Chains A and B, each alone.
Chain A
């Protein structure tokens, strides 16, 4: 009986949250499926459709009359590259700060994390100079170079906490058995850190997909844009918003990301809370 009551209470708490959180997706979907005229018929919005809706015209417009497919590819390419760079830098740095630096590790970790808090709206001006000096303006490499400046600090801080949850005795045992520090890292620590690594991967990729300021200022060539820069450029024309296509453009990358989060939800939570109790 107590179990049923607990279940009911859980549902009562969860349901409103779920509705609030799912509503943007519902809104995106409904808007994306509406014909333009239907969208401006306030009698119908948000629950009913007019005769010419639902329609896939907005999706068709997106793929046939804009470079959306190219922006998706660019975003995926940059996202993949930034994830690799972030892991390559954050894994050893996070481990070193967690294990090898003693009391300084924590202080340095916090200092590195603080750099994450400097907003891109301040940083884009000096970084413009850097990108220009490196001759990377209007090239995907500009974003691949710049994005780790905010993904790496956060990932180091996150992984640092996670590495601290792994008992040092496991590493000691491997070292006693003759493994080198690197072997210990690769064979013992990293396999145990999968939730943390996955969290970094998902989080980094999400940040790259969402980032706007650098994407809009460093790249102006349409074919080189990412989703976050290309969509508002092509689908917001002056004071006219192409709402249907905008929502379709937002929905498409949101779905795989949402699925990714759901599939790895438990590991994701473990990754974020890994260092919470140490």
Chain B
């Protein structure tokens, strides 16, 4: 049927503007501005499914400011807008610095109000009673793309309560970054911890020490728990019993003490999560354990040693070669969330189709459901559009993510006790005490055990482990 409505020529310019017309336009403009700034709920990007219709629901999401700014831009302006249009929901995404996530979560729980979806960057098992179980969401995604990966499952499932307290959409491999030019002069590669220890004195004397943090921050936690694993030592066993007092822990502590004395500097005791990145990018470090943000930043800045940066799996040790995820993206839905239905639908969709997230994060986010991104090795072999990307640098990430990455709390689950041990930085403190010479390895190990005991007892009494 032909549209008989009068067409408005927006290119027409009226030469004469009367006072009445001016007032009319001003009033109209004011209404548009007020409406637009306060109440308009129509999304603006993508092909609108519900054209000219106010979207029915609202979904509020909070997550970190991703280290790749382009990912946030894509997520907020493209992915989320399209999803909102397709699901008749206005989606609002807020971002905070990763260090502020815990306080923000505590604030929302205290207020019983906040976002429908809250993304943590480590498994938030301690919040199990504050969130709804997501077993149905995981099952729906599994029906579509296959089983959830081991790292994702062990980071979000509580075998005691049989609940998924969170939904893992991604995890980030945590490889070793090293300078091939500097290590080449020593004639070694950091393929084993023994090699790291042997090369460290020479590297330090060259002005390029090894950089593994021992302070209260994420990277130190990850690197040192991974080091423990490489010496066959673990915080807990598969039954959530503390196992930190072990020969493996003693050996790892003594190893780190030696490594610190021979090849590191005291600044590692005061590092923040950014310090190893900064020191490496400034050309000072010869080795660091970190997600690929180091390599990507070097590419972005086209640093003179960009092509000398190499990525390897965690070095081999006396125990099994096993690193950790660097960041574990876990969404939860609070019990008080206003729009649980939309939140669940959002999770099902993000878990099912993760290719866009994998590519737009420039290989930073790996899918927690392996089947949600097809043919990862081939995609890693192809270069992205990232500036100055070094060809062949990233294919190793596939093997690292599959073979040498596990959850915090391995061989057990990332339970509430592990969450608390992790967030109280007991492991970095244990290592720092020995490296500084404040305690012997045995003393530090016993002190850590004493700190962990009431934590595990508390969560066991609450029937969470």
Contact = CB atoms under 8 A, between A and B. Distances in A.
Contact of A239 (B69, B113, B273, B283): B273
A18 B76 CA distance: 46
Contact of A42 (B100, B114, B282, B297): B282
B433 to A, nearest CB: 25
Find the residue from B65, B99, B108, B282 having the highest chain A CB count within 10 A.
B65
B13 interface: no
Interface in B248-303: 273-274, 276-278, 281-284, 290-291, 293, 297, 301-303
B94 A217 contact: no
Interface in A20-77: 36-37, 40-42
A266 to B, nearest CB: 39
B107 interface: yes
Given A238-B67, A239-B219, A137 B111 contact: yes
Contact of A237 (B69, B94, B110): B69
Contact of B96 (A36, A137, A233): A233
B115 A220 contact: yes
Contacts of B291: 238-239
B300 to A, nearest CB: 8
B456 to A, nearest CB: 25
B107 A217 contact: yes
B351 to A, nearest CB: 22
Interface in A187-237: 213, 216-218, 220-222, 232-234, 236-237
A241 interface: yes
A40 B282 contact: yes
Contact of A40 (B107, B274, B303): B303
A220 B66 contact: no
Interface stretch (A1-9, A108-116, A125-133): A125-133
Given A132-B113, A137-B113, A238 B293 contact: yes
B95 interface: yes
Interface in B76-104: 92, 94-100, 103-104
A125 B92 CA distance: 24
Nearest to B105: A217
B277 A240 contact: yes
A129 B219 contact: no
B400 interface: no
Contacts of B67: 237-240
B92 to A, nearest CB: 8
Contacts of B97: 232-233, 236-237
Contacts of B302: 37
Find the residue from A124, A220, A238 having the highest chain B CB count within 10 A.
A238
From DSSP, what is the main secondary structure of chain A's interface residues? Answer: helix
A239 B296 CA distance: 12
Contacts of B274: 236, 239-241
B112 A238 contact: no
A237 B65 contact: yes
Contacts of B301: 36-37, 40
Contacts, number: 100
A251 B290 CA distance: 31
Contacts of A128: 107-108, 110-111
Contacts of B277: 239-241
Interface string B53-71: 0000000001011111100
A14 to B, nearest CB: 31
Interface in A99-157: 124-126, 128-129, 131-132, 137
A232 B64 CA distance: 11
B294 to A, nearest CB: 9
Contacts of A238: 64-67, 98, 273, 291, 293, 327
A213 B218 CA distance: 20
Nearest to B273: A239
B81 to A, nearest CB: 16
Contacts of B273: 238-239
Nearest to B217: A239
A222 B97 CA distance: 12
Contacts of A241: 274, 277-278
A234 B110 CA distance: 25
B113 to A, nearest CB: 4
B106 interface: yes
Nearest to B294: A239
B281 to A, nearest CB: 5
A91 B273 CA distance: 45
Contacts of B64: 238
B219 A132 contact: no
A220 B64 CA distance: 11
A97 B249 CA distance: 61
B110 A240 contact: no
A218 B111 CA distance: 10
Given A125-B110, A132-B112, A220-B94, A233 B282 contact: no
24 contacts: A37-B301, A40-B281, A128-B110, A129-B112, A131-B111, A132-B113, A213-B103, A216-B96, A216-B104, A217-B103, A220-B104, A220-B115, A221-B94, A222-B94, A233-B96, A233-B100, A236-B274, A237-B65, A238-B65, A238-B327, A239-B67, A240-B297, A241-B274, A241-B277
Interface of A: 36-37, 40-42, 124-126, 128-129, 131-132, 137, 213, 216-218, 220-222, 232-234, 236-241
Given A128-B107, A216-B103, A220-B94, 13 more contacts: A37-B303, A132-B112, A233-B97, A233-B100, A236-B65, A238-B273, A238-B291, A239-B218, A239-B274, A239-B293, A240-B67, A240-B274, A240-B277
Closest 6 CB pairs of A and B: A238-B67, A132-B111, A220-B94, A128-B111, A217-B107, A125-B110
